[in-house]
Amino acid sequence: MRTIDDLDVSGKRVFVRADLNVPLDGERITDDGRIRASLPTITTLRDRGARVVVAAHLGRPKGAPDPAFSLRPVAARLGELLGAPVAFAADTAGESARAVTGGLADGEVALVENLRFEPGETSKDDAERAEFADRLALLADLYVGDGFGAVHRKHASVFDLPRRLPHAVGGLVLAEVEVLRKLTGDPARPYAVVLGGSKVSDKLGVIDNLLGTADRLLIGGGMVFTFLKAKGYEVGSSLLEADQLDTVRDYLARAEKQGVEIVLPVDVVAAEAFSADAPHGAVDADAIPADRMGLDIGPRSQELFADKLADAATVFWNGPMGVFEMEPYSHGTRALARALTESSAFTVVGGGDSAAAVRALGFDEAAFGHISTGGGASLEYLEGKPLPGIEALDD
């Protein structure tokens, strides 16, 4: 793949497809990690005299403008972090976008409105996507793909647009791919993978693939209760995907046959309701009361998981161990993150809720080997799926 070092960007309008899909509370950004991760590429282009046109999506609007998903607060925060004003276009590829991007001087930056306000961005119809990509192409002379969190999507700005402009990969995407290649090529061993989050069905493909590459799988979060039920344990009112029980039983059998250790919690924090104020306490993982739901791994499991990671040389973590947004159920995720910061292994936090938890719980991001900006993209890469946004840049 060509990098931005291979492009002559001075005086050119450079379309940067970034990932600025940050969480908002009204107009307040609660975690600006993805904006900060985009700064190096944008800054490099500015310093080289490019006229930088940044584009991104936010949330899941229904192909039409929705003020709740406007990127205007992101433009303000991006300007604060850059230390320079960021012009904002009130549409994505219309009159405002053409005027704002056409008025840029060398070294200036503009952000266009949410790409997903246009139905052509996410359309499954090739012609509709192509029409939108044609309009986006009018805004720039060059294209840089730097939104790793979107490269697993066959969207107009990710897949179709780079085919219309001279293009290169941005520094963020390049760094992400290099890290993931370490995990899928020849990782230093023992190689441990920690999977959490709510649903086992979200991670079927990656579990299937990891059974052939990882030495040890540690399972937590809501998805663990399908594993516990598959072993014949009572899980009370915990989250359960009954339709995946046979699949999970097959994984457990395959792991034993292939010598892959699957580590499950030995205790969980179970509550009477999905609430921070509900009565709760640690119970054995094989004895969850019928009227309680598991919302975190327990203290003995925290020690077990830390022990199982102590000798690892490579660790990939995707998904929190519990409902970390509620303080009583944040301790498992906190303990896991702490174990990784104290490890000598190459540690990769696989984006999404895991990365958000690291920041929300106050950990120093520099204490981890790599924090990904794309949870879904990371998982699909580890699953072995082709990533459309990478394929479009790889020529």
Positive or negative: CA dihedral 192, 263, 293, 245 = positive
Using DSSP, state whether 293 is helix, strand or coil.
strand
* Active-site annotation holder among 77, 199, 249, 254: 199
Is 58 assigned to a binding site? Answer: yes
Q: Say whether 21 counts as a known binding-site residue.
A: yes
**Integer Cα distance of 204 and 380 in angstroms:** 11
Alpha carbon 64 to its chain's center: 24
Q: Exactly one of 63, 79, 107, 376 is catalytic; name it.
A: 376
142 is annotated as contributing to ligand binding: no
2 counts as catalytic: no
Is 318 annotated in some ligand binding site?
Answer: no
Burial class (CB in 10 A: 0-12, 13-18, 19+), 328: middle
As a whole number of angstroms, the distance between CA 33 and CA 21 comes to: 10
203 appears as a binding residue in the annotation: yes
Which residue in 12, 13, 17, 34 is the catalytic one?
34
Annotation-wise, does 135 bind a ligand? Answer: no
Residue pair 348/214 in contact by the 8 Å Cβ criterion: no
Catalytic residue among 352, 374, 375, 389: 352
- Residue in this structure with the two tokens 């998981």, named with its chain if needed: 305
Q: Would you say 19 is a known binding-site residue?
A: yes
User: Is 94 one of the catalytic residues?
Assistant: no
Told to judge if 46 belongs to the known catalytic residues of this protein, a careful annotator would answer no
212 marked as part of a ligand binding site: no
Q: Cα–chain-centroid distance for residue 232?
A: 33
Question: 57 labelled as ligand-binding?
Answer: yes
Q: According to the annotation, is 389 in a ligand binding site?
A: no
Does 249 carry a binding-site annotation? no
For residue 376, indicate whether it is catalytic: yes
Separation of alpha carbons 313 and 327, rounded Å = 31
Residue 195 among known ligand-binding residues: no
Q: Could you tell me the two tokens for 3?
A: 């990098």
> 3-state DSSP call for residue 333?
helix
The catalytic site residues sit at 34, 199, 352, 376
Binding-site annotation: residue ranges for ATP: 203, 294, 325, 351-354
Residues tagged in the binding site annotation: 19-21, 34, 57-60, 116, 153, 203, 294, 325, 351-354
Q: Which residues are annotated as a binding site for substrate?
A: 19-21, 34, 57-60, 116, 153
